[in-house]
Amino acid sequence: MAFFLETLLGGLMAGMLYALVALGFVLIYKASGVFNFAQGAMVLFAALAMARFAEWSGEALGIGNPLVTSLLAFCGAAVVMFCVAWVIERFVLRHLVNQEGTTLLMATLGITYFLEGLGQSLFGSSIYKIDIGMPKDPVMILENVFEGGILLNKEDFYAALIAAALVALLSIFFQKTSTGRALRAVADDHQAAQSIGIPLNRIWVIVWCVAGVVALVAGMIWGSKLGVQFSLATVALRALPVVILGGLTSVPGAIVGGLIIGVGEKLSEVYLGHFIGGGIEIWFAYVLALGFLLVRPQGLFGEKIIDRV
């Protein structure tokens, strides 16, 4: 029982991190109807910026405390992501108003390669580390309930907390504010949104800024776990099944989807692994997503697509 719980907790926390990346996809899709292929590249770009800014600010100002340099670097990287958002809106999206979803998808594919290249030529292409001073040592909990207690990874735990807080904030923003309503309106119909005076350009800058910050948080957490390197861009691919499972248009869906995938991966590896020879963790999420597509193509929480014939 203790072992099961431990696996479950590990899965939940890993799932929260997937959810964080998935959230980036959902945000942009919800608010502009674009499937943003560049989300992974944005995670990489943000993490690279943050890692190098922390390094540079530490050297330049002679600050040794990793928390202080991290904070400076976070703000710096956030500014960089705002600039990226503005540039994407000004030079790409503005010219593609009222275009097909496929056109916009292809545009984000272009942005992906551009960001990957630019990130590495600006910030370098070796492996960097982000140290935000998170405690790395695991703790034992519930020792008086189970024999030996449950091993909890503190780093994952804090990461999950940060992710949860971000999600709560975003949900409120979308559901309760007029800007959130405007964002949802833009996602549904560009022209109609314009006709009631919603400034499309400003909305797009806002949503790409928010997605940039989400990418930055994801990049920071994943970067501090795995190191900042090119492979971070592929983290986004791990989040794809999460988005399919949870639904492209739902913030809670991204979370629940992330948790299901995280838990499913860990449990299947542990309990099914020895029947079919292990290595399940790598493909389990995709198979689960595929199965889901057959049953509920709009995802768990996605908006049901109703078409009048």
Partner 1 sequence: MSTKNIGDVILDVKNISLSFGGVKALTDISFNVREHEIRSIIGPNGAGKSSMLNCINGVYRPQVGAISFRGQTFSHMDSHQVATMGIGRTFQNLALFKGMSVLDNIMSGRNLKIKSNILLQALRIGPAEREEIMHREAVERIIDFLEIQAYRKTPVGQLPYGLQKRVDLGRALAMEPQVLLLDEPMAGMNVEEKQDMCRFVLDVNDEFGTTVVLIEHDMGVVMDISDRVVVLDYGKKIGDGTPAEVLANPDVISAYLGTSH
For residue 170, the minimal CB distance to partner 1 (Å) is: 11
Q: What are the b/e assignments for 250-271, b being 16+ CB within 10 Å?
A: bbebbbbbbbbbbbbbbbbbbe
For residue 200, the minimal CB distance to partner 1 (Å) is: 8
How many CA atoms, within 13 angstroms, populate the side-chain half-sphere of residue 278?
Answer: 0
**Residue number with CB closer to partner 1 (43 or 187):** 187
> By CB under 8 A, is residue 176 in contact with partner 1?
yes
> By CB under 8 A, is residue 179 in contact with partner 1?
yes
For residue 177, the minimal CB distance to partner 1 (Å) is: 4
Q: Is 136 helix (H, G, I), strand (E, B) or coil?
A: coil
Sequence-ordered list of residues with C-beta below 8 angstroms from that of 41, at least 6 positions apart, any chain: 111, 112, 113, 115, 116, 119, 233, 236
> By CB under 8 A, is residue 172 in contact with partner 1?
yes
Region of 54-62, 69-77, 118-126, 180-188 interacting with partner 1 (CB under 8 A): 180-188
**Residues 240 to 259 in contact with partner 1, rule: CB under 8 A:** 249
Phi, psi of 247 (to 5 degrees): 100, 135
**Residues 187 to 206 in contact with partner 1, rule: CB under 8 A:** 187-189, 191-200
CA dihedral 167, 168, 169, 172 (to 10 degrees): 120
**Residue number with CB closer to partner 1 (20 or 203):** 203
Match 């449950």 to its residue by tokens: 150
For residue 190, the minimal CB distance to partner 1 (Å) is: 9
Closest CA to 252 of 22, 34, 43: 22
Site residues (vs partner 1, CB under 8 A): 172-173, 176-179, 181-182, 184-185, 187-189, 191-200, 249, 303, 306, 308
